[in-house]
Amino acid sequence: MHHLWLMLLPFLGLVSVAPAEKGLEFPRYDGKDRVLDINDRNYRKAMNKYSMLCLLYHEPIPDSKELQKKHQMTEMVLELVAQVLEEKDIGFGMVDAKKDAKVAKKLGLDEVDSVYVFKEDRVIEFDGLLSANTMTEFLLDLLEDPVEVLDNALELKAFNRMDEEIRLVGFFKNQESEHFEAFKEAAEQFQPYIKFFATFEKTVAKQLTLKMNEVDFYEPFMEEPVTIPEKPHSEEELVAFITKHRRPTLRKLRAEDMFETWEDDIEGIHIVAFAEEEDPDGFEFLEILKEVARDNTHLPDLSIVWIDPDDFSLLIPYWEKTFKVDLFRPQIGVVNVTDADSVWMAMDDEEDLPTAQELEDWIEDVLSGKVNTEDDDDEDDDDDDDDDDDDDDDDDEDDDDDDDDDDDDDDDSDEDEDDDDDDDDDDDDE
Ligand SMILES: *[C@@H]1O[C@H](CO)[C@@H](O)[C@H](O)[C@H]1NC(C)=O
């Protein structure tokens, strides 16, 4: 009786929140096992059976109950994605780093807690947030054609609005053109992270100021594209150009490749800007930031990561605690990716955002090393010789006064958040 009651509970719960209407039935895991336990005997078959195979390479299953629960949670994410995408001919599997070490080696899996997608002869590493939403979107993007064709002015308009994305667009004679073929092959290597477009229409090409076989590269937030020199291009030339120019001056942190972006630090640091696009102050700050990025896009060492806190709600408390900033206000700072130590630009007046000039001066100070995360470190160093109360020298005048609660900087509990952080060092798109 007791059991029956317990079994009914979730069902009753569902009834009480779900309206009688149809059309918004949010998927819940139905309990069916779809994710394969990949091993030496079944991996070939799985590879051949599906058009895409999505494998989670995970740590050996631990003995502790708690850690097992954590592992199950991750598996549930995969199960839900597998359920939602059941009709799409995608296989899902788990590869145990210890038990299945042989298979992992054969498949070239090297980064524990990463997801690898096998599609035809390519392996795409998913280095984003392991949530069902993000994974699903990623896999659906991978199912699409690597090149989207722009047929008319309306589609061109949509293309022009995608200014947050790195994108390429080329003009070709037709689908059969060998140069279009090379473009497509290149596109496959960056799918779904970099968007590729093509047009076969003279009128569209004219508006894009593209000549036959020409390819333009659009950096995010820049007004003008760069034309890739020396058309026509082979696949290799396109790949080389994109690889070289891939790191933009201003990039938005995206769930689908957030870890990859974070690992692409510049000598151990990131310049990070928090701004909520939907918030008037955040929006205005972003406009200033874009202006500064456009004026300084020639600086090879400048790459600002813009984070819209709205996209990462679960991380807001962690960031506020770690960086000691108010994320309801726009912020820009330098973060050391080794220890998450940070300094933030003082925005003197609560009401006043910095001008483009002030922001530019500050960025210059960061690039020259004048503003850095180390200068204020004396008092929270772990070397026990000079750990006395207050030796905070006031040498950096544009720094906020930060002895308020700096001494819990090394607080280990901050690290707990990091557990699903896959660290792969660079893009393996090639
Ligand atoms: C980042 O922090 C680490 C550890 O505290 C330190 O060794 C390193 O010099 C810092 N890097 C920069 C660029 O400040």
Atom 9 in ligand 1: which residue has the minimum CA distance? 374
- Phi and psi of 232, rounded to 5°? -75, 165
Task: Verify whether ligand 1 is closer than 6 Å to residue 144 (CB atom).
Answer: no
3-class secondary-structure state, position 226: strand
Characterize 226-247 residue by residue with b for buried, 16 or more Cβ atoms within 10 angstroms of its Cβ, and e for exposed: eebeebbbebebbbebbeeebb
The pLDDT value recorded for residue 351 is 73
Q: How far is CA 78 from the centre of its chain?
A: 19
In whole angstroms, give the CA distance from residue 382 to residue 385. Answer: 9
The ligand 1 atom at the shortest distance from the C-alpha of residue 372 is: 14
The ligand 1 atom at the shortest distance from the C-alpha of residue 268 is: 13
Task: Verify whether ligand 1 is closer than 6 Å to residue 338 (CB atom).
Answer: yes
Q: Is the Cβ–Cβ distance between 209 and 170 less than 8 Å?
A: no
Q: How far is the CA of 289 from the centre of ligand 1 (A)?
A: 26
Closest residue by Cα to residue 131 from 110, 115, 118:
115
Residue 14 has, within 13 A of its CA and on its CB side, a CA count of: 10
The pLDDT value recorded for residue 347 is 84
Helices (H), 144-245: 153-161, 178-190, 202-207, 235-245
Q: How far is the CA of 336 from the centre of ligand 1 (A)?
A: 6
Q: How far is CA 251 from CA 246, 310, 335, in A?
A: 10, 16, 15
Task: Verify whether ligand 1 is closer than 6 Å to residue 268 (CB atom).
Answer: yes
Check residue 29 and report its DSSP letter.
-
Q: Percent helix, strand, coil in the chain (nearest 5)?
A: 40, 15, 45
Tracing tokens 């599609």 back to the chain, one arrives at: 119
DSSP letters for 361-422: HHHHHHHHTSS-SSTTGGGG-S-GGG--S-------TTS----SSGGGTT-GGGGGGGGG--
Per-residue three-class SS string for 96-141: ECCCCHHHHHHHCCCCCCEEEEEECCEEEEECCCCCHHHHHHHHHH
The pLDDT value recorded for residue 386 is 43
Q: How far is the CA of 268 from the centre of ligand 1 (A)?
A: 7
Q: Phi/psi zone of residue 167: left (φ > 0), alpha (ψ -120 to 50 degrees), beta?
A: beta
Q: Is the Cβ–Cβ distance between 335 and 323 less than 8 Å?
A: yes
In whole angstroms, give the CA distance from residue 34 to residue 91. Answer: 8
Q: Which of 271, 339, 343 to mutate to test the pocket of ligand 1 (most atoms within 8 A of CB)?
A: 339
Could you list the pLDDT tens digit for every one of the 430 residues in the chain?
445 444 444 444 444 555 678 898 889 999 999 999 999 999 999 999 999 999 999 999 989 999 999 999 999 999 999 999 999 999 999 999 999 999 999 999 999 999 999 999 899 999 999 999 999 999 999 999 999 999 999 999 999 999 999 999 999 999 999 999 999 999 999 999 999 999 999 999 999 999 999 999 999 999 999 999 999 999 999 999 999 999 999 999 999 999 999 999 999 999 999 999 999 999 999 999 999 999 999 998 899 999 999 999 999 999 999 999 999 999 999 999 999 999 999 987 667 899 999 999 999 999 999 999 988 776 554 444 444 444 444 444 444 444 444 444 444 444 444 444 444 444 444 3
Task: Verify whether ligand 1 is closer than 6 Å to residue 269 (CB atom).
Answer: yes
Q: What is the pTM of this model?
A: 0.81
The ligand 1 atom at the shortest distance from the C-alpha of residue 377 is: 5
Check residue 231 and report its DSSP letter.
S
The ligand 1 atom at the shortest distance from the C-alpha of residue 269 is: 13
Q: Is the Cβ–Cβ distance between 45 and 93 less than 8 Å?
A: no
Q: How far is the CA of 340 from the centre of ligand 1 (A)?
A: 9
The pLDDT value recorded for residue 24 is 87
The pLDDT value recorded for residue 19 is 63
147-149/250-252 β-pairing: unpaired
The pLDDT value recorded for residue 413 is 43
3-class secondary-structure state, position 169: strand
What lies within 8 Å, CB to CB, of 36 at 6+ separation is 42, 46, 91, 92, 93, 94
Atom 13 in ligand 1: which residue has the minimum CA distance? 268
Q: How far is the CA of 337 from the centre of ligand 1 (A)?
A: 8
Tracing tokens 């064709």 back to the chain, one arrives at: 149
Q: How far is the CA of 214 from the centre of ligand 1 (A)?
A: 44
Q: How far is the CA of 243 from the centre of ligand 1 (A)?
A: 27
CB burial class (10 A; 0-12, 13-18, 19+) of residue 225?
Answer: middle
- By residue count, the chain amounts to 430
Task: Verify whether ligand 1 is closer than 6 Å to residue 265 (CB atom).
Answer: no
Q: Which of 272, 338, 383 to mutate to test the pocket of ligand 1 (most atoms within 8 A of CB)?
A: 338
In whole angstroms, give the CA distance from residue 109 to residue 123. Answer: 10
